Amino acid sequence: MPAKRVAMQIIKEVLRLKFDASLSHRQIAAACGISKGAVAKFVALADANGLSWPLPETLSECELEQLFYPSAPITKTDHDPDWFEVHHELKKKGVTRQLLWSEHVAKYPDYARSYTTFSIHYRKWKQRQRRSLRQEHKAGEKLFIDHCGPTMNIIDRGTGELRSAQIFVAVLGASSYTYAEATWTQSLPDWIASNQRALQYFGGVPALLVPDNLKSATHKACRYDPVVNPTYTRFAAHYGTAVLPTRPYKPQDKAKAEAGVLLVERWILAVLRHEQFFSLAQLNQAIARLLTTLNDRTFQGRTESRKDLFIALDQPALRPLPDTPYEYDEWSKAKVNIDYHISVGKRLYSVPNRLVGTTVDVRVTATGVEVYERSKRVAAHQRHGDTRYSTISEHMPARHRAHSQWSPSRFIDWGTSIGEATALVVRSQLEDRPHPEHGYRACLGLKSLCKRYGTQRLEQACRRAQSIGSPSYSSISSILKQGLDQHRKDLEEEQPKKMPEHNNVRGANYYSTTTEE
């Protein structure tokens, strides 16, 4: 059975004893003959409605009863405001119910409602609305971001293979103005690019980005202290906003995103379900066409659309976009190898040689690679190039820098000028090396041997080294030191000799597929 209604005189006495006499709930309950729980309920309702003691003179007993017993009927009077309009006006910065009430009274002098009654009627209207509409969203404050559960298929023209595209959705809190697009994945590069295009679509930046707890947005989901992805944090800083991920397992935190996703699924994906798409661009063109229709559609029972509310509420409150768009980057760590290069992807990039053996921070963008030592940039390279190596001469040790003018073709030309054997040895030094400097050093060593022993002996030593299958700098240097290049008899003896005939040596015919019967 419903609780017994307490007389308004007793409620007034409770408020007087609480706010004027400052008695405890137990003392008030004993004085008024009601339970301590009832006293607590009346005091809490008074606090929620901003009441104290003495009560406002304009507050009638009927209005007071409506505050403490909201189920009491409310009679509609002439010139009652449009509560939907009041609700959206309150989303604007600095707008209060007191201001709207005073403006309404000025517009309709015959309006007999007091400010308290005005507030009661507004609260009653708001309670009858859907939960998503009842949430308070200030203009330009929050952009809710999520992905649809369903995906869209894209057909490969060459193979006929189906590939699924993810559907990104972003919804502004105050106006419900919606953006949607298709991307291949929910990975970090696609996530950042989608966020960037969404802000460009809205033409401004909200105060907060409210994503779901997907890995591209948060490194660690936590109800009280979520760890936001560093790249996403830098993206937000570039646009002058902040990231506030929703709490895990709290769908009410992203009710706007949930509603936006549902609308996109119903009015875009469902409409396109029978169409075939052969590229991501083709799918996004179809989504953009239906997205315009969705934002132009009026709310049920209203004359306003999402676009109308966006122009009136969110658009004026959004912060301007920065002059330059955000450049996507990824950060990682790399250890500097002994050749003062780091590996990024399939290319090697030089850093100052003093950093050999240390670990550095690497920032990779679409066009460049930057290297940082303790937040200080120490190297910058173009990401793509014709060769596997990207080496800056200033990063070389002094002994390497002195020979930086050398090139493979120059070494080969020098070897050819000495002789055929020397040219072949030079070529072998420059091929299949982990780094060009390794081959250069060997070639420079050959030049040093040439100055010491002369061109003729170097050519003979190179020929001897090739004959023994060891055309390396160390072998050639050893041959010259021992004077083996001058022993022609040894060279002749080292030529391959014919195997002697022997009963135990099988000839080629032994393995023939035909045998005598």
User: Which pLDDT band holds residue 3 (cuts at 50, 70, 90)?
Assistant: very low
Tell if the pTM clears 0.75, that is, is over it.
Answer: no
DSSP 436-447: HHHHHHHHHHHH
**Taking residues 425-442, what's their average pLDDT?**
71
Class of domain 142-317: alpha beta
Closest CA to 437 of 471, 474, 411, 464: 411
Is residue 251 pLDDT above 80, yes or no?
Answer: no
Task: Give the SS3 label for residue 145.
Answer: strand
In Å, how far are 81, 353, 381, 403, 446 from 399, measured between CA atoms?
85, 12, 22, 7, 16
Measured CA to CA, the distance from residue 198 to residue 275 in angstroms comes to 25
> What is the predicted pLDDT for the residue at 400?
61
CA 441 centroid distance within chain: 45
Task: Give the SS3 label for residue 83.
Answer: helix
Instruction: Tell me which of 511 and 45 has the higher pLDDT.
Output: 45
- Measure CA of the first residue to CA of the last residue in the chain; give whole Å: 115
Measured CA to CA, the distance from residue 201 to residue 143 in angstroms comes to 12
Asked if residue 169 lies in contact with residue 235, where contact means CB atoms within 8 angstroms, the answer is: no
In Å, how far are 45, 305, 379 from 173, measured between CA atoms?
29, 14, 43
* Digit-coded pLDDT (tens) for 355-370: 988 999 999 887 899 9
Measured CA to CA, the distance from residue 223 to residue 410 in angstroms comes to 65
> What is the predicted pLDDT for the residue at 1?
33
DSSP 343-363: EETTEEEE--GGGTT-EEEEE
Is residue 204 pLDDT above 70, yes or no?
Answer: yes
The 3 state secondary structure assigned to 93-130 is CCCCHHHHHHHHHHHCCCCCCCHHHHHHHHHHHHHCCC
Tokens standing for 225?
A: 């202290």
> What is the predicted pLDDT for the residue at 134?
46
Instruction: For the chain, state the CA radius of gyration.
Output: 41
> What is the predicted pLDDT for the residue at 221?
41
Is residue 102 pLDDT above 50, yes or no?
Answer: yes
Q: Which of 190-204, 218-232, 251-265, 480-494 has the lowest mean pLDDT?
A: 218-232
Is residue 505 pLDDT above 60, yes or no?
Answer: no
User: Which pLDDT band holds residue 167 (cuts at 50, 70, 90)?
Assistant: very high
User: Which pLDDT band holds residue 496 (cuts at 50, 70, 90)?
Assistant: very low
Spell out the domain ranges in the chain.
Answer: 8-127, 142-317, 329-401, 408-493
> What is the predicted pLDDT for the residue at 189?
87
Mark residue 43 as left, alpha or beta (left: phi above 0; alpha: psi -120 to 50; beta: remaining): alpha
* Digit-coded pLDDT (tens) for 319-354: 999 999 888 888 889 999 877 889 888 888 999 989
* Digit-coded pLDDT (tens) for 132-160: 444 567 888 899 999 998 999 999 988 88
Instruction: Tell me which of 216 and 225 has the higher pLDDT.
Output: 216
Q: Which of 290-304, 337-351, 498-512 has the lowest mean pLDDT?
A: 498-512
> What is the predicted pLDDT for the residue at 268?
92
Asked if residue 440 lies in contact with residue 406, where contact means CB atoms within 8 angstroms, the answer is: yes
- Return the amino acid letter for 121: H
**What residues form DSSP beta bridges with 170?**
145, 179
Rounded to 5°, angle at Cα 250 from 244 and 255: 75
Mark residue 176 as left, alpha or beta (left: phi above 0; alpha: psi -120 to 50; beta: remaining): left
Asked if residue 206 lies in contact with residue 141, where contact means CB atoms within 8 angstroms, the answer is: yes
